[in-house]
């Protein structure tokens, strides 16, 4: 698996960096789909049809990974750790593992904000929810920038992994808040 981690970038002929041109990725994806679509091999041998199906599947998975900033960051972190560790450690490394510690001050702040969310839900204070949403969105924006800087500028994969875990936490909070706002809009 470790040898295949960078395959998504290789498939599209891209440098393994976080900040990629999404329009270029989409253009390359469409070109590869035209070239390798299984329908083009419908009258070929079973082996060639199977190979085309596998290639199309690999292209689709690589596109999914690279299209998502979250998955792309995770992939880059895993690639970095695969070159630093033994194969057995790299295969099992997950930058989002729940057993990796988060800073206590961050957790305390998130708990306080989560309490504010619950209080606002209880009294149906949509202004308070919008304020929390803005706070969490600002945190998410800062974390996205920190991830990009850590990956592309500093090559600090340990910090990038921490920022990604923090971002996952904030995004979970945002999702819960958005779900509440959606329910209230019905």
CB 132 within 8 A of CB 120: yes
d(CA 90, CA 2): 6
176 and 138 in a single domain? The answer is yes
26 and 76 in a single domain? The answer is yes
d(CA 136, CA 109): 11
CB 87 within 8 A of CB 143: no
The pLDDT, as a whole number, for residue 37 is: 85
15 and 86 in a single domain? The answer is yes
Which structure tokens are listed for 12?
């599209």
Q: Please report, in tens digits, the pLDDT of each residue of the chain (186 residues total).
A: 334 556 899 999 999 999 999 999 999 999 999 888 888 888 888 888 888 889 999 999 999 999 999 999 999 998 888 766 544 444 456 777 766 788 999 999 989 988 988 898 888 888 999 999 999 999 999 999 999 999 999 999 989 999 999 999 899 989 989 988 888 887
In a domain, 173, yes or no: yes
Q: What is the pTM of this model?
A: 0.81
In a domain, 172, yes or no: yes
- Taking the CB of residue 26, how many other CB atoms lie within 10 A of it? 12
The pLDDT, as a whole number, for residue 19 is: 96
In a domain, 113, yes or no: yes
Q: Which domain holds residue 56?
A: 2-92
In a domain, 83, yes or no: yes
The pLDDT, as a whole number, for residue 38 is: 82
37 and 81 in a single domain? The answer is yes
The pLDDT, as a whole number, for residue 89 is: 45
**24 contact partners, CB below 8 Å, separation of at least 6:** 14
Residue 126: give its domain's CATH number.
1.20.1280.20
The pLDDT, as a whole number, for residue 98 is: 62
Which of 42, 58, 92 is a domain's end point? 92
């Amino acid at each position: 698996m470790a040898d295949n981690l960078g395959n998504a970038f290789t498939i599209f002929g891209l440098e393994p960096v976080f900040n990629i041109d999404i329009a270029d990725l989409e253009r390359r994806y469409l070109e590869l789909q035209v070239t390798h679509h299984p329908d083009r091999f419908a009258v070929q041998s079973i082996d060639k049809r199977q190979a085309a199906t596998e290639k199309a599947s690999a292209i689709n998975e690589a596109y999914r990974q690279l299209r998502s900033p979250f998955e792309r960051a995770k992939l880059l972190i895993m690639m970095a750790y695969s070159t630093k560790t033994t194969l057995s450690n790299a295969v099992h490394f997950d930058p989002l593992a729940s057993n990796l510690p988060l800073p206590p001050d961050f957790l305390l702040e998130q708990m306080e904000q989560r309490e504010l969310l619950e209080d606002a839900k209880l009294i149906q204070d949509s202004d308070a929810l919008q304020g929390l949403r803005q706070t969490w969105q600002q945190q998410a924006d800062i974390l996205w920038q920190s991830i990009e800087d850590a990956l592309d500028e500093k090559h600090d994969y340990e910090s990038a992994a921490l920022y990604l875990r923090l971002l996952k936490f904030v995004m979970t909070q945002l999702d819960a808040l958005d779900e509440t706002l959606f329910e209230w809009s019905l």
